[in-house]
Structure 1
Amino acid sequence: MPDIRYDGQTYPLCDGQSVLECLIAHGVSVPFSCRSGICQTCLMRAEVGQPPDAAQKGLKPALKDRNYFLACICNPEEDLTISLPGREVARTPATIVGMELLNAEIMHVSLQSHGQLEYRAGQFINLYQKENLARSYSLASLPGEDPHLHIHVRRVPEGRVSSWVHDGLQPGDTVDIQGPSGDCFYLPGAPEQGLLLIGTGSGLAPLYGIVRDALAQGHTGPIRLFHGSRNRNGLYLIGQLQELTRTYSNFEYTPCLSGGYVPKGFTSGRAHQVALSEVPRLAGWRVFLCGHPEMVKVAQKKAFLAGASMKDIACDAFTSNAITG
């Protein structure tokens, strides 16, 4: 099996282990978050040796050319000497300018980046608590309309980063961010296309940005947003979304509750089930799925069976890590 050389030490790679798993197993502290090749927190560079193509999925061509790879999905076939990213993927300082509880679990955080940050609503940034501990949060803000970056941070039980955000951060603090990344955003060019957006929990964050982006760019096709939770307390931004429905005739918002009691004005059922029953034929539609991984997985399959092309289904599964969430 190949060996991994990092920071002057050599670590044997066990059968089936990723580079990230190998380093963690040997007690090496390196940044990581999702462990599924999405957030790019575990980005590393091969100084000697060639990482497999699969480990460079989603990276910009300039990073691929410099042998960068994602450690969590890297299963090398040869020895690698690796290092952490250089200046071309440096982190950017940002100042906390506002914090507001949106419900009992979700904190709305506004950040002012110290550097120029070009992004699309719905993409995500990595927020660092310290050098090797970060989490990915989707951007609910809209470039050109919102003066600051907006993220929604759900408190994860025993989560180190989310607990730090809720209990330790305050306006005026400076943090490090990295990004943006991700392909979950509005694509102009087909203004008449139907848009179906389904989210649970803080999965509303990117969807809120995407909806406002589409409307701001003059989208004329139907836009249907379904946001779900077990009970009323798990939903948020209800007033803002209802205001958008009054302002734009092509936008419709459906808050869904899967628990026992469903008050007037809410729909009973899981968000993806309600959405796919109300919009059963999705040929030609673009679909956005954000939130709990199991919901995203099931809804992606059902949307495809309902006629949506796989290239028109954008997914953003919100994974959590029991150790460092």
Structure 2
Amino acid sequence: MPPVSELLIAGKSINAADNANLLDTLLAAGLAIPYSCRAGSCHACMVRCTQGELLDAKPDALSPAQRAEGWRLACQSRIRGDLALEVFDPQRDGIAARIHSLDWPAPDILRLRLLPARPLRYSAGQHLLLWGASGVVRPYSLASLPGTDEWLEFHIDCSRPGAFSSQVRQLVEGDQLGLGELHGGGLHYDPDWQDRPLLLLAAGTGLAPLWGLLREALRQAHQGPIRLLHVARDPASHYLAGELAALTEAHPNLQVELPVQAELAAALANLQLASRQTIALVCGSPAAVEHFSRRLYLAGLPRSQLYADTYLSRAS
């Protein structure tokens, strides 16, 4: 039998086997720990370790400042000895935000814009946590552009019922939400890429972070060709078609393709790299990211030039 450790968390004492995954242990004990990707990218499952230490599979996933405060990712941590832990508390650890505006650019996609109570420093493509009065917490990628947009913008897919998506359908301008400051996400724009071809591939609301990163590249006067492909369920779900058309009109080096799901195979079959120097930024569901990535590898893209982020649709 493996050694048994004692975990003190949220007023509970939990006996757990050493080397067990912390997130699985906490969920099995009935604790409502938010989580999403289980891959260390979304940061939804952060806990603070106040006594003891954890075996951390991804020590670089959090910033040095977060780690110094004791924050760890439960999904990437294994138990090693007795521990005292604190869960992420929205009232204590979060930031209040007021809804600036919300609209529905597609029937099931909400564009939500928030004004935080204090300024946030962030980068295009970064994740933040969102929660409402019910306490349900979800990670979302930012679609806004720092230094340009006065608000924080999120694109939320409400096509499937869920605790959070059902809640946001009831929101109105002026309502309050909470924000959790994160620095996760696998996507970014590097000024050193300025002369290299950019290939942006998105599925559904995976377009959100790429919308911010595309505008970041254009703001920095990206010189290489930029090709964006957004696949959606149907034509109505190409929710940024108008805005993308306006950018294409203003920037001759930008090409945009908007296939629907039934046309994706043909679009990817015709996918050719502008050069071996191409940088690819990919975002969507795990299946979509895997599909895009496989096609890029077949087209000859080096793995080191592919940056990907995934999101999970949850019905809870």
TM-score, scaled to structure 1: 0.88
Judged with a 3 Å threshold, the aligned counterparts in structure 2 of structure 1 residues 287 and 135 are, in CA distance, closer, same or farther, namely: same
Report the secondary structure of 1:122's partner residue. Answer: coil
Report the secondary structure of 2:258's partner residue. Answer: strand
Match of residue 181 from structure 2: 179
Matched letter for residue 29 of structure 1: A
Report the secondary structure of 2:48's partner residue. Answer: strand
Match of residue 274 from structure 1: 267
Greater shift, 228-237 or 94-103, is seen at: 228-237
Match of residue 321 from structure 1: 314
Q: Aligned partners of 1:134, 1:279: CA distance in 2, in Å?
A: 40
User: Displacement, 1:121?
Assistant: 1.8
Q: Aligned partners of 1:12, 1:312: CA distance in 2, in Å?
A: 44
Q: Aligned partners of 2:301, 2:79: CA distance in 1, in Å?
A: 35
Q: Aligned partners of 1:93, 1:316: CA distance in 2, in Å?
A: 26
Contact 1:201–1:229 (Cα < 8 Å) also in 2: yes
Q: Aligned partners of 1:274, 1:16: CA distance in 2, in Å?
A: 45
Contact 1:32–1:41 (Cα < 8 Å) also in 2: yes
Matched, 1:293 2:286: yes
Matched, 1:160 2:155: no
Match of residue 124 from structure 1: 127
Matched letter for residue 278 of structure 1: L
Q: Which of these residues, 305, 309, 314, is aligned with residue 302 of structure 2?
A: 309
User: Displacement, 1:290?
Assistant: 0.7
Greater shift, 110-119 or 42-51, is seen at: 42-51
Match of residue 55 from structure 2: 52
Contact 1:121–1:213 (Cα < 8 Å) also in 2: yes
For structure 1, the 5+ residue unaligned runs are 260-267
Contact 1:18–1:74 (Cα < 8 Å) also in 2: yes
User: Displacement, 1:237?
Assistant: 1.2
Judged with a 3 Å threshold, the aligned counterparts in structure 2 of structure 1 residues 78 and 277 are, in CA distance, closer, same or farther, namely: farther
- Residues 111-154 of structure 1: per-residue CA shift (max 9 Å, x gap): 11111111122212110124752111211111222111111111
User: Displacement, 1:188?
Assistant: 1.0
Matched letter for residue 296 of structure 2: A
Contact 2:268–2:295 (Cα < 8 Å) also in 1: no
Superposed, 1:92-103 pairs within 5 Å as 92-103=95-106
For structure 2, the 5+ residue unaligned runs are none
Matched, 1:40 2:43: yes
User: Displacement, 1:253?
Assistant: 0.2
Matched, 1:206 2:209: yes
Q: Aligned partners of 2:247, 2:156: CA distance in 1, in Å?
A: 23
Q: Which of these residues, 217, 224, 231, is aligned with residue 228 of structure 1?
A: 231
Judged with a 3 Å threshold, the aligned counterparts in structure 2 of structure 1 residues 249 and 29 are, in CA distance, closer, same or farther, namely: same
Judged with a 3 Å threshold, the aligned counterparts in structure 2 of structure 1 residues 66 and 142 are, in CA distance, closer, same or farther, namely: closer
Matched, 1:61 2:64: yes
- Residues 68-118 of structure 1: per-residue CA shift (max 9 Å, x gap): 21112212233322113589x921111001010010110111111111111
Report the secondary structure of 1:5's partner residue. Answer: strand
Judged with a 3 Å threshold, the aligned counterparts in structure 2 of structure 1 residues 258 and 131 are, in CA distance, closer, same or farther, namely: closer
TM-score, scaled to structure 2: 0.90
